[in-house]
Amino acid sequence: MPEGMLKPLKIKGRVLPVPIIQGGMGVGVSLNPLASAVANEGGMGIISSAALDRLVSKRLNKQLATQDAVYEEVSFTKEQSRRNCGLVGINIMVAIVRDFEESVRGALDAKVDAIISGAGLPLTLPTLQDPKDTALIPIVSSARALSVICMRWSKNGYRPDAVVLEGPLAGGHLGFNYGDIWKDENTLENLFPAVKDMAQKYGDFPVIVAGGIFSHDEIVIWQRRGADGVQMGTRFLATRESSASQVYKEAVVNCSEKDIAVADPVFFPPGSPCGLPFRVITKSPMFQNSRLRKPLCNKGYVLRPDKDKKLACPAKEDCVKNMCVCNGLLSSAGYEENEMQLWTVGTNAYRVKEIVPVKTLMNELKGLTG
């Protein structure tokens, strides 16, 4: 293979010509236009399942339940994707408790190529419905987490078809405690060897690395280290096909390194009501002005057990420590026009300098441009 050329990624008997998985950015950033464009360039385009009931219902001008909305978006995206090019997957967050099972079933009914699941451990994923040809891919931030998943899944006669190892430089919700994000032991480079060993122990399935990967040269370096592929979110955020608002895209292009921070309800409020650290552009209107907003939770996607073990959203009672993530992200995707926007990004967002078509970006990442 010529120097600098990317190796294809093999997952569950299928070959992905370009070993790039586009991150599933929710709410509403990773939808049909972006996912189909990435798939048509040989990568794996990913739909975000978050709030698809509202987003697809608005697009079709009719009310759909979560399972039906997921089925519709996956089916539509697969129709828009050319055969023998890339693949279409969906990102389903464990933290969106209310819609998790319905999202999985809708995606499997639509014969999605892969389900990628994180923001918690997807311990029940293989038990919800026979995946058949669909690849089941957990997201982890440590070898220990992968071991727990493999042991649980093996009891049901299944092992992951691949795994995404997401380091602390990623955007959105992070799988680390706030104080652990900057520890040297938690860099992607230091986490990778143990996760690779664990994947080999349980069947030698592919390991896909994510968090802070930006360029073609960096993808080549990771493949030389033994990674089978990469997942990239922020690079696709400021593309023409991304469903992020124009203001959101321009905020990415114009942000500086000092504008990017990790929000947390305790250590750097306001944070996400699910309690996980959450990387954002600090100039986001929702982050800047959350405390001026009346508490409101009229969507209820991100829920966690309260003191009585009932599912609730902390942002319904307190917008000083907790941002209303659902409404802020829906606003950033053009759904809530009168709501403050929330801009979540990876740590390298400041390196993005222009809004480009997916084809242009994919050619750059393939190493086809100078």
Residues 164-187: tens digit of each pLDDT: 999 999 998 898 999 999 999 999
354 against 275, higher pLDDT: 354
Domain 9-244+352-366 has CATH 3.20.20.70: yes
- Stated as kind and residue range, the H or E segment containing 109 is helix 100-109
The upper half-sphere exposure of residue 2, i.e. CA atoms within 13 Å in the direction of its Cβ, equals 4
Give pLDDT, residue 153: 96
Residues 255-308: tens digit of each pLDDT: 999 999 999 999 999 998 888 899 999 999 999 998 887 777 777 677 777 677
**β-pairing, 9-11 with 14-16?**
antiparallel
| Euclidean distance between CA atoms 283 and 97, whole angstroms | 29
Residues 316-331: tens digit of each pLDDT: 888 888 888 888 888 8
| Euclidean distance between CA atoms 144 and 165, whole angstroms | 12
Residues 202-261: tens digit of each pLDDT: 999 999 999 999 999 999 999 999 999 999 999 999 999 999 999 999 999 999 999 999
Bridge partners, residue 116, by sequence: 91, 137
- pLDDT value at 1 more than 50: no
Give pLDDT, residue 323: 87
325 against 359, higher pLDDT: 359
**β-pairing, 278-281 with 114-117?**
unpaired
| Other beta carbons within 10 Å of 253 | 14
Q: Give CA separation, 234 vs 25, 279, 303, 344, 350, in Å.
A: 9, 11, 25, 9, 10
Dihedral sign of CA atoms 339, 341, 342, 344 in order: positive
Q: What angle, 0 to 180 degrees and rounded to 10, lies between the N-to-C axes of helices 100-109 and 66-80?
A: 40
- Stated as kind and residue range, the H or E segment containing 208 is strand 207-210
| Euclidean distance between CA atoms 351 and 272, whole angstroms | 25
**β-pairing, 260-263 with 278-281?**
antiparallel
- Stated as kind and residue range, the H or E segment containing 102 is helix 100-109
Residue 260: closest CA among 181, 198, 182, 171? 171
Residues 4-37: tens digit of each pLDDT: 689 999 999 999 999 999 999 988 899 999 999 9
**β-pairing, 207-210 with 260-263?**
unpaired
| Euclidean distance between CA atoms 44 and 17, whole angstroms | 9
- pLDDT value at 75 more than 90: yes
Return the domain boundaries, the chain.
9-244+352-366, 246-349
